[in-house]
Amino acid sequence: MFKVGHIDNPAGISARNLLTAYRLMNYEAVIPVPDTTLKSATAVFDKPKKAKEDKTGIQLFPNPATDYTIVSYTMEGRCIMELLSKDGRLIRTENLKRGNNQYLLRTGDLPSGVYTLKLKGSNKSLTTKLVIQ
């Protein structure tokens, strides 16, 4: 029998498995053993920071966006989303579901820049900025 060194590529793994199956080589997998001489320490955590309060009612992530952004919102009743360019031109309009929801907004076809995203509901209107890279 002969010994083959450590092989990481798929072809090498397949060859090793075939040679082992036909009993042309012996293979024992190396199992790493943890170092038991290390001592554990007590973890100390900082006080948790409070999340920023959402003043608009709309959350965009990622923002700045490249190919898409996810619009997370809470609206009662009928909801319309409008995407406006920097100069106020209407770029896109979508009817959205009411309630606490998310919407995937594809931005890959839009030029880089700063846009305004408006959500209009039956009793309120929400506005935020969207940056596209």
Q: What is the CATH number of the domain that holds 118?
A: 2.60.40.3080
Is 66 within the bounds of a domain? yes
Is residue 14 situated within a structural domain?
no
pLDDT tens, residue by residue, 82-124: 999 999 999 999 988 888 888 888 998 899 999 999 998 878 8
Across the chain, mean pLDDT equals: 79
Q: Is 115 within a domain?
A: yes
For 87: left if phi > 0, alpha if psi spans -120 to 50, otherwise beta; the answer is alpha
Quote the number of domains for the chain: 1
In this prediction, residue 83 carries a pLDDT of 93
pLDDT for residue 3 is more than 50: no
Q: Domain of 89? A: 58-132
Whether this prediction's pTM lies above 0.85 is answered by: no
Q: Is 20 a member of any domain?
A: no
Residue 95 burial (CB count, 10 A): 8
pLDDT band at residue 53 under the 50/70/90 scheme? very low
Q: Please give the pLDDT value at position 111.
A: 92
Residue 13 included in any domain: no
- pLDDT greater at residue 5 or residue 29: 29
**Distance (Å, rounded) from C-alpha 95 to C-alpha 65?**
21
* Within a domain: 70: yes
9 in a structural domain: no
